[in-house]
Amino acid sequence: MQTQSLNEQWAQCQTILADNLTSSVYQTWFAPIVPLQFENGILVLQVKSQFVAEYIEENYIPLLSSAIIRVFGQGTRLEYRVLIDSTSGAGTMLPSVGTVNPQPVINTPRPVSNFDTQLNSFYTFDSFVSGEPNKLARTAGIAIAKQPGSTAFNPLFIYGGSGVGKTHLANAIGNQTRVLNPQARVLYVSANTFKLQYQDAALNNRIPDFLNFYQSVDVLIVDDIQYFAGLKGTQDTFFHIFNYLQQSRKQLILTSDRPPIELKDIEQRLLTRFKWGLAAEIKKPDYALRRNILLYKMRRDGISLSDEVVDFIANNVRDSVRDLEGVLASLLAHSTLTDKEIDLQLAEQVVSRIVAIQPRKTTVGEVISAVADYYNVPEKSIAAQSRSREYTQARHVVAYLSKELTESSLTEIGLKIRRTHATVLHSIAYVKSQMEIDPVMRQQIAQIEAVLHK
């Protein structure tokens, strides 16, 4: 196919996309895409980073697939080429996950070479940033990938809140298993998809085919198992599949938003089996993990952020890895559209739209440190008995700012500077009176407050 013809066809796709998206979304995610090749039914599109490919896959793949099929024809497959080095033109290929048929064919077991794993190829151990909150689950997952069905972790029951990385880890185990054993039949399926497949099989009298298909799998990954709640037929069928695979030393990996003991409307015999192996919690990311996730995604996507911005995001986006990704995506979009550097002000605006920013609580110790630095006196002098004018002045300011900026009581402030409740009150009153008549004092207080608010 000639380059000009490919460009014309991609231009038609862009027209469809532009008509169905806001201008800012289209310009940020689709306008920069370059069509590279269309051969043997495979369309290759060049994107700037893996992050862009992942974001499109997660948010816009139905629209993009529709446009590609309309222009290039039914059955067209999509691949992304991620540009790694613009000078040499080096890049890496990533297949689209979203354009693959999400329903496995339930019939006579297929050859491994044609087996559709339904795994997300973007979710690997390399892209799963490790830390204390996910250490146990990740370690067990690595062991399973090396010897699926032959460890004590069968089933592996991964649980945790929304957005902590359960789906990522489950797919990473499956992908690594396939790397180490290409002949393994690994299948990822959501609980909801399993339910729909079972219902379809029951309506069409194809339950034996359904069972045969699932019993042919070497590693079965079922995501969001809590959605089996109250579905007796689905649970009965899954019970038989679970037993067969477990007894055949095949590996089961289950994810849920809660531990087995807290699952409701699930048959006791299933709950008992969920506890046979290892129940591993992935907790909310702590500060260290949040910061490492940000640094990893910055390196991967070529985003440059100051330490100040990284610390602000890590301190305020606490609950979910997904929220961290959303903040980075929004920052990248804002920066691209406005052609401005990502600074703390922009980060504050973006983060405030995604999570509730918790006001930072200043401590008396921080006030003492800031005041000592400003007046160039030793911190210990503020609590000393010296009546030197410079030490007394610093002590007065510490008392005033501690009352204004911290949640400490007058007694607690007094303990920090080794003064009585009455003396603290006197210092506060003194600073207030001085600020009313002395512009220099007002300026000093303002400058120290600015340091503490950074």
CATH of the domain at 299: 1.10.8.60
> What average pLDDT does this structure show over 346-353?
76
Which range has the worst mean pLDDT, 9-18, 52-61, 221-230, 361-370? 52-61
* pLDDT > 90 in the chain, percent: 29
Of residues 423 and 342, more confidently modeled:
423
User: Would you give the DSSP letter of residue 152?
Assistant: S
Chain segment 50-104, per-residue pLDDT in tens: 778 878 887 788 888 888 988 888 888 898 888 655 555 555 677 776 554 333 4
φ, ψ (nearest 5 deg) of residue 361: -95, 120
* Mean pLDDT, rounded, for 31-54: 87
The verdict on residue 121 lying in a domain is yes
Is residue 452 predicted with pLDDT exceeding 50? yes
Q: Are residues 255 and 120 in the same domain?
A: yes
Q: Work out how many domains the chain is built from and give that number.
A: 4
pLDDT of residue 259: 92
Q: What is the crossing angle of helices 364-375 and 439-452, to 10°?
A: 130
Residue 136 in any domain: the answer is yes
Return the CATH number at 383. Answer: 1.10.1750.10
| The pLDDT of residue 405 is above 80 | yes
State how far the Cα of 274 lies from the Cα of 77, in Å rounded to an integer.
38
122 and 190 co-located in one domain: yes
pLDDT band, very low/low/confident/very high, at 166 (cuts 50, 70, 90): very high
Q: Which amino acid is at 178?
A: R
Distance between CA atoms of residues 200 and 196, nearest Å: 6
Domain that residue 304 falls in: 287-354
From CA 110, how far away is CA 112, in angstroms rounded? 6
- Between 106 and 33, where is the model more confident? 33
C-alpha distances out from residue 147 to 88, 158, 168, 173, 180, Å: 40, 18, 19, 11, 9
Does some domain include residue 309?
yes
- According to DSSP, the residues that pair with 222 across neighbouring strands are 189, 254
Strand, helix or coil for residue 156: strand
The per-residue pLDDT of the chain, averaged, comes to 84
For residue 105, pLDDT beyond 70:
no
Residues 276 and 178 in one domain: yes
**pLDDT for the residue numbered 114:** 61
Look at residues 280, 106, 112, 63 and name the one whose alpha carbon lies nearest to residue 193.
106
Whether 171 is covered by a domain: the verdict is yes
Q: Are residues 30 and 66 in the same domain?
A: yes
Contacts of residue 208, defined as CB under 8 A and 6 or more positions apart, other chains included, come to: none
Query: Would you say residue 442 has pLDDT above 80?
Result: yes
Q: What is the pLDDT of residues 279-299, one digit of tens each?
A: 999 998 888 888 888 888 888
Give the pLDDT of residue 138: 93
| CATH code (residue 218) | 3.40.50.300
296, 129 Cβ separation under 8 angstroms = yes
- Domain match, 130 and 273 both: yes
- 16-31 pLDDT tens trace: 888 888 887 888 889 9
d(CA 423, CA 387): 13
In a domain, 333, yes or no: yes
Based on the domain organization, do 433 and 305 belong to the same domain?
Answer: no
156 Cβ contact partners less than 8 Å away, ≥ 6 residues apart: 137, 140, 141, 144, 173, 251, 252, 253, 254, 277, 278, 280
Question: Which amino acid type is present at position 441?
Answer: M
Q: Is residue 428 very low, low, confident or very high in pLDDT (cuts 50, 70, 90)?
A: very high
Whether 106 is covered by a domain: the verdict is no
Boundary (domain end) residue, out of 66, 95, 124: 95
Q: What whole-number distance in Å separates Cα of residue 275 and Cα of residue 267? A: 13
172-185: average pLDDT: 92
Q: 275 and 134, same structural domain? A: yes
**Predicted confidence (pLDDT) at residue 142 exceeds the cutoff of 50:** yes
Q: Same structural domain for residues 48 and 83?
A: yes
- The residue ranges of DSSP E strands in 122-174, in sequence order, are 156-159
- Last residue of some domain: 325, 354, 383? 354
With a pLDDT cut of 70, the percent of the chain lying above it is 91
Task: Check pLDDT > 70 for residue 112.
Answer: no
Using the predicted structure, report yes or no on whether residue 113 has a pLDDT greater than 60. Answer: no
Residues 94, 95, 98, 103, CA torsion sign: negative
180 and 248 in a common domain: yes
Q: Is the dihedral of CA 251, 256, 261, 264 positive or negative?
A: negative
Same domain, 347 and 372: no
Q: Which of 195, 197, 153 is nearest to 173 (CA)?
A: 153
Query: Tokens at residue 60, please?
Result: 């816009």
What pLDDT, in 10s, does the model give residues 302-317?
777 888 888 888 888 7
The enclosing domain of 32 has a CATH number of 3.30.300.180
Do both 295 and 255 map to the same domain? no
Report yes or no on 417 lying in a domain.
yes
Last residue of a domain, one of 304, 328, 354: 354
100 in a structural domain: no
Q: What is the C-alpha to C-alpha distance for residues 207 and 18, in angstroms, rounded to an integer?
A: 44
**Same domain assignment for residues 269 and 172:** yes
Spatial separation of the C-alpha atoms in residues 61 and 183, rounded to whole Å: 29
Distance between CA atoms of residues 253 and 399, nearest Å: 58
